[in-house]
Chain A
Amino acid sequence: GPKVLQIPSHQIIDMGQMVTLNCDPVSNHLYFYWYKQILGQQMEFLVNFYNGKVMEKSKLFKDQFSVERPDGSYFTLKIQPTALEDSAVYFCASSLDGTANSDYTFGSGTRLLVI
């Protein structure tokens, strides 16, 4: 089936540095999402994005976080500066539309380690 591609799969970065996580959504999907997962536990919503704008964000989406998708390229999550507590697996997802039963397709995640 259609896939969401996430690059890189792993990233180790020094605290305070900037990191950009890249997501290539399903081609005809219009809504994009980032989720954070720590130690295989609960998937925590960060942000959703549609038509070039952030639609909703959670308290976990700190001021150091930003998202964009310039001209249909990668949907990116940027963290600047990074903190130790940002270490987690970040999952990108996309959906065709924003209706109730529009299913998400998730990528395989980017494992971020901040040291």
Chain B
Amino acid sequence: QQQVRQSPQSLTVWEGETAILNCSYENSAFDYFPWYQQFPGEGPALLISILSVSDKKEDGRFTIFFNKREKKLSLHIADSQPGDSATYFCAAKTGGYKVVFGSGTRLLVSP
């Protein structure tokens, strides 16, 4: 079963807009949520992450909003740039167990 769900599957925004990528999860034991950015032909690279004790994490133009009660989180990319066009994976982890990935959101930023 899908433990981590992402929406939308694909998203197109104009340069300068804020892109919002959504994620939800089922396992209440998940306590760490990394977001990965993947460009075609490359491996995923850690972009930003949040622990479940926090409700917000900012790093430059990237912000994670986390709602533990609803088991939802979102990645906001402010002032989107064409170079942000990539696939973004929401992932979840607990303790010493594996990272579980969502199915990804393909973001296209049009100039």
A residues 3-50 in Cβ contact with B at 8 Å = 4, 33, 35, 40-45, 48
Query: How long is the Cα–Cα vector from A35 to B36 in the complex, in angstroms?
Result: 14
Q: Which residues of A contact B101 (CB under 8 A)?
A: 35, 42-45
Q: Which residues of B contact A75 (CB under 8 A)?
A: none
Q: Per-position contact with B for A49-83: 1 when CB-CB < 8 Å, else 0? A: 00000011000000000000000000000000000
Stretch from B19-27, B37-45, B61-69, B70-78 forming part of the interface with A: B37-45
Q: Is the CB of A100 within 8 A of B31?
A: yes
Query: How long is the Cα–Cα vector from A45 to B32 in the complex, in angstroms?
Result: 17
Q: Is the CB of B87 within 8 A of A40?
A: yes
Q: Is the CB of B98 within 8 A of A100?
A: no
How many chain B residues touch the partner (CB < 8 A)? 28
Q: Which residues of B contact A44 (CB under 8 A)?
A: 101
Q: Which residues of A contact B36 (CB under 8 A)?
A: 106
Q: Is the CB of A40 within 8 A of B98?
A: no
Partner of A98, one of B44, B49, B96, B103: B96
A residues 68-115 in Cβ contact with B at 8 Å = 91, 93, 98-101, 103-109
Q: Does B56 contact A (CB under 8 A)?
A: no
Q: Does B51 contact A (CB under 8 A)?
A: yes
Query: How long is the Cα–Cα vector from A40 to B99 in the complex, in angstroms?
Result: 17
Q: Is the CB of A101 within 8 A of B98?
A: no
Q: Say yes or no: A41-B43 contact (C-beta < 8 A), given A56-B97, A56-B98.
A: no
Q: Is the CB of A109 within 8 A of B43?
A: yes
Query: How long is the Cα–Cα vector from A114 to B86 in the complex, in angstroms?
Result: 27
Q: Is the CB of A91 within 8 A of B43?
A: yes
Chain B proximity of A80: nearest CB distance (Å): 24
Q: Which residues of B contact A55 (CB under 8 A)?
A: 96
Q: What residues of chain A have their CB less than 8 Å away from a CB belonging to chain B?
A: 4, 33, 35, 40-45, 48, 55-56, 91, 93, 98-101, 103-109
**Complex A-B: 8 CB contacts under 8 Å:** A4-B43, A35-B101, A40-B40, A40-B104, A45-B101, A48-B98, A100-B93, A106-B43
